[in-house]
Chains A and B, each alone.
Chain A
Amino acid sequence: MNTPSIEIRHLKALVEDKIRHAYLEKYMQKPIIDEEKLTILAAIINNTALAANQKERYIITTMLVQVALDTHELVPKTNNSDESEELKLSKQLSVLAGDYYSGLYYLLLSEIEDFDLIHNLASAIKEINESKMKLYYSKESSFHEYTNLVKEIESILILKVAKYVDDTSLDYVASEWLLTNKLIQEKRKLVNNESSSFVDNWLRNTSQDSYTSTLNTIETIIEDKLQQLERSKLNLPVQYTAIKAHLDSRLNEYIRENISIAEEG
């Protein structure tokens, strides 16, 4: 079944509608809804025999969990003793907003009495936080192991839902693409001289690497992953044509972006 972009926009609007809160909006940056995860999730759920309203509920609640986790990532690691009132307020609201979105996922699923999905999403949250702790106190001996942890963090939620609806045929492509997408984002930050907590965290725990060598490693991994994805998407089941098209479009976008960076020198 197709997941055209208009549907993704509609689903995104539904999630935005659920998390709408006047006071939070006034003092917090707008929560980012991860469109890559939304697209993959919609493809998986649309491929099930669930009723339309149930499909919508599954997608919205899973994305609420993702938004909740992402919002908590906005809380700074430490407090600055001379932080401005504005920063302090934004930090406090990020804590509460994340908890509020988590509460909403539970509420929406309890309304349709899907206790098993509540249970599964809760298990996913636990696993993600275990992996986040491993990443935070990273003792990985190689960058490859480090990125594997990132892959887990990026894909556990989607894979749990896929397993719940009994369709794991997208698992490999989903997890590889979500990692690749993350690496592309981090690479963009480095190229634009922006800070990357992903790279900072790696460098904090390793004495072997530098910023430049890490950027080179990221580029190499991205290239490898793109080649793997090119091959893997050919084997995707026919019902995932739209995902194939989506990946093609995103891969081409990345290639175009790189050509233009190379031309600009």
Chain B
Amino acid sequence: MKIAKTYGYLKKDLDVIEESLNKVIKAEHPVLREASTDLLQAGGKRIRPVFVLLSGKLGNFDLNRIKTAAVSLELIHMATLVHDDVIDDSTLRRGKPTIKHLYDNRVAMYTGDYILASALEEITTIKDANIHRLLAQTIVEVCIGEIEQIKEKYNWDQELRHYLRRIKRKTALLIATSCKLGAIVSGLPEDQANKLYKYGYYIGMSYQIIDDVLDFTSTSKELGKPSGNDLLQGNVTLPVLYAMQDRSFNNLIRETFSNPENVVEEDMEAVLSGLQKTNAIERSYNLSDLYLQKALNALEEVPDQKAKQTLQDIAKYIGKRRS
């Protein structure tokens, strides 16, 4: 089953959000407009708007206000993707050429800045201090997370808590914020909004851990990039941290990456097979499941409604994700 089936009944609302996304980024300059709309048309799961919508459905749902929050969050996410492609020098995203590849870094920087500004212009039509403090804090934390990720590259001595803090900033915070914004906009009581924030946070942690596992367990064809590419780029993820508790793998990785700039795809075969011999993948899935359980627990006191059921279904879907 595809994740979109769990929230198929939101299609009409998602179409309204899609239409609004297109309107908001209508730039005047043809290249800026084309770059932004191409990115939009490349699609994506729109998972952040889905979380805003579902949380919103639990309160006094007003599509106009919910739409503003959902559009802003998706634009913030999109802006970070455009800039991330410059950072990672990526040529493809979702199977299509990136803006930096189609044009150049300069156009990608201007497009990302334009999209982020569009998001802030949009969200400030809602005058609610709680919304802006939360969102602003999240944006700053996401940036710090990305800076930390670069700082911690090839650091084989980092601790588990460093990894967890990094994925919190990289993925979990924006999903948690999506859930809470939907709740605030729909006037849910603070305690409920906080429960939804926790749900989003735990889901985000679980999702990112599985993503990091898949980097080792999926084929290059499934990933659209070489297996173990995260590690090749120097990103030390959970499976690696667990596997490094095995002395021989620990030696292998330190030896392989003694000169990181010389490591090529072929060198990764021994590392990948070494990692598979440890219990790192199983332990990573266990931690992901633990976060999923916490996500489901956070929903316990949320009123029983269809949207709650969908949030539970999404959690279960994420838990079963193996490709």
Contact = CB atoms under 8 A, between A and B. Distances in A.
A91 B88 CA distance: 10
Nearest to A106: B136
Contacts of A123: 117, 121
Interface stretch (B28-36, B236-244, B269-277, B285-293): B28-36
Contacts of B86: 75, 91, 95
Contacts of B124: 115-116, 118-119, 122
Contact of B113 (A107, A113, A129): A129
B110 A21 contact: no
A93 B105 CA distance: 14
A133 B146 contact: no
A119 B124 CA distance: 6
A164 to B, nearest CB: 13
B17 to A, nearest CB: 20
Contacts of B27: 126, 130, 133
Given A92-B87, A115-B127, A130-B32, A75 B117 contact: no
Given A89-B150, A107-B137, A115-B127, A130 B104 contact: no
Question: Which of A23, A75, A97, A103 has the most C-beta atoms of chain B within 10 angstroms of its own C-beta?
Answer: A103
Contacts of A100: 140, 143-144, 147
Contacts of B191: none
Question: Which of B31, B135, B139 has the most C-beta atoms of chain A within 10 angstroms of its own C-beta?
Answer: B139
B80 interface: yes
A119 B104 contact: no
A184 interface: no
A143 B124 CA distance: 38
Contacts of A133: 27, 29, 31-32, 107, 110
Contact of B105 (A76, A107, A110, A122): A76
Interface residues on B, range: 35 or more
Contacts of B28: 130
A110 B136 contact: yes
Q: Determine the main DSSP class of B at the interface with A.
A: helix
Contacts, number: 135
B283 to A, nearest CB: 30
A91 B86 CA distance: 9
A77 interface: yes
B110 A129 contact: yes
Interface string A87-113: 001011101111110111011001101
Interface string A47-85: 000000000000000000000110010011111000001
A93 B117 contact: no
Contacts of A92: 87, 150
A136 B107 contact: yes
B129 A113 contact: yes
B83 interface: yes
Interface string B1-34: 0000000000000000000000000011101100
22 contacts: A23-B147, A68-B113, A79-B89, A95-B87, A96-B146, A96-B147, A99-B80, A99-B112, A99-B143, A99-B146, A106-B135, A107-B133, A107-B139, A107-B140, A119-B124, A119-B125, A122-B117, A123-B121, A125-B113, A129-B113, A133-B31, A136-B106
Given A24-B147, A68-B113, A130-B32, 9 more contacts: A95-B83, A96-B143, A96-B146, A96-B147, A100-B140, A122-B117, A126-B118, A130-B27, A133-B27
